[in-house]
Structure 1
C-alpha cells in the first residue's frame, strides 16, 4: 500500500462527508430538534452504515446491481419513499422546543439504513473506491475505510453541532419551523436526483 495515498484519501473523505446531502440535512435537523447528545446515535449509525456500503461497493456490490436492474430500481424507490417520509416528518414539526425530550430522535438504525438509500453515499463510495483502490489490493480498501470512518463521524457531528447551536440561538418556534420546512424541501428535492435515469 502506497502511504502517499492516505492524504488524498482523507481529503476525499472529508469533502464527501462534509458536503451537504440528505444525511447531513437530517443531522442538522436532529441537532436543532433534539440537541447534540441525542443525535449522536444517528451519526454513529450513519457512519457505520456508510462504511459498510463503502466496503460492499469495494468488494463488487456495484457490479451486482448493474446486473440486477430490478433490484437497483427497488432500492431507488425505497430511497425516495424514505426521504419523503423524513421530509414529511420535518415539514410537520411545530418548531416548539418544549416537550422535545419525549420525542425520539432518529436513531442508529435509521442512520445506517439511510446511507444505503442515500444517492450521495453511493456516489461517494463508487467514486472513492474507483479513484483510490485496486481490486487486486484489498488492503487499500481497508485503509481507506479506516480513514473514512472517523472523518465521516466527525463531519456528521459538525452538522449536528451546527443544528444544536442554532437551537440555542433561536428559541422562536416560527424560526425553527422555517428551518425545518427548508430542510424538508431540500430532502424532498434530493429525490429528483434519484428519479433521473
Structure 2
C-alpha cells in the first residue's frame, strides 16, 4: 500500500514534534519512573487514537453544527493547559526517592489529548489529507499506524526526561527546567488567544 508510508510520516511528524503532551512526557520522565511515564504515554496514545477515530467518523462535524462548541473547546483546552502549567511551575524541583505519588497517569494522558489543540488539528488535517473524505478502511488503517508511532514518539520524550534526570539532581536546576516547560506550555495557549 503506497498510502502507508505518507500516513506513517505524517503520524511521526505530528507525534514527535513538541507540543503540550510532549512537554508533560518530558517532565514526567524527569520526575517519575519510566514505567509511570509509560502509563501516561499509554493513556495519551489511546486518548489520541480514540479522538482520531471519532474525528474520522464524524466528530469534527460538531465543530460546525454546534454553535460555540469550538470556542468552548478552546477555552477548556486553555484552562487545562494553564492548570498543568501552574502545577509544573509550582513544583519544588525535588526528585522523590519513592516516585509513586502524584504521577501523571493514564487518565490524565487520555484527557489531555482531548483538550490538546495539537491533537485536534493533527487529527483533522490527517483525516482530511489521507482518508479520501473519511473512508472507513483508511481511517482504521491510519489509526492502526498512529497507535505504535504515537506511543513510541511520546515514549522518546519520557526517556529523554529520564536521561535528563541524571543531569538535574539539584532541585534548583530542576525548578528552572520545570518553570521553562511551564512557560512553554502556557505560551502554547496563546495560539488560541490570538485566534
TM class, shorter-length: over 0.9
Which one has a larger percent helix, Structure 1 or Structure 2? 1
- What residue number does 2:147 align with? 149
**Structure 1: runs of 5+ lacking an equivalent:** none
Match of 1:194 among 183, 189, 192: 192
Partner of residue 132, structure 2:
134
TM-score normalised by the chain length of structure 1: 0.95
Question: Which stretch of the first structure deviates more once superposed, 69-78 or 156-165?
Answer: 69-78
* Structure 1 position 167, deviation (Å): 0.3
Contact 1:35–1:160 (Cα < 8 Å) also in 2:
no
Q: Secondary structure at the match of 1:45?
A: helix
- In the other structure, the counterpart of 2:178 is 180
Superposed CA deviations along residues 14-42 of structure 1, whole A, max 9, x for unmatched, are: 01000000000000001111131111111
Runs of 4 or more off by more than 3 Å in structure 1?
Answer: none
Describe the superposition over 1:133-189 as per-residue Cα deviations: whole angstroms up to 9, x where unpaired.
Answer: 023621011000000000000000000000011001221111111100000000100
Residue equivalent to 1:32:
30
Aligned residues: 195
TM-score normalised by length of structure 2 = 0.96
Say which of 92, 102, 126 aligns to 1:94: 92
8 A contact 2:34–2:159 mirrored in 1: yes
Task: Name the CA shift for 1:53/1:98 in 2 (closer, same or farther; >3 Å).
Answer: closer
142-151 or 75-84: which moved more?
75-84
d(CA) in 1 for partners of 2:162, 2:67: 41
Query: Is contact 1:51–1:149 with CA below 8 Å preserved after alignment?
Result: yes
Q: Which residue among 115, 118, 126 is the counterpart of 1:117?
A: 115
2:162 to 139, 150, 164: 164
The CA RMSD over aligned residues, in Å, is 1.3
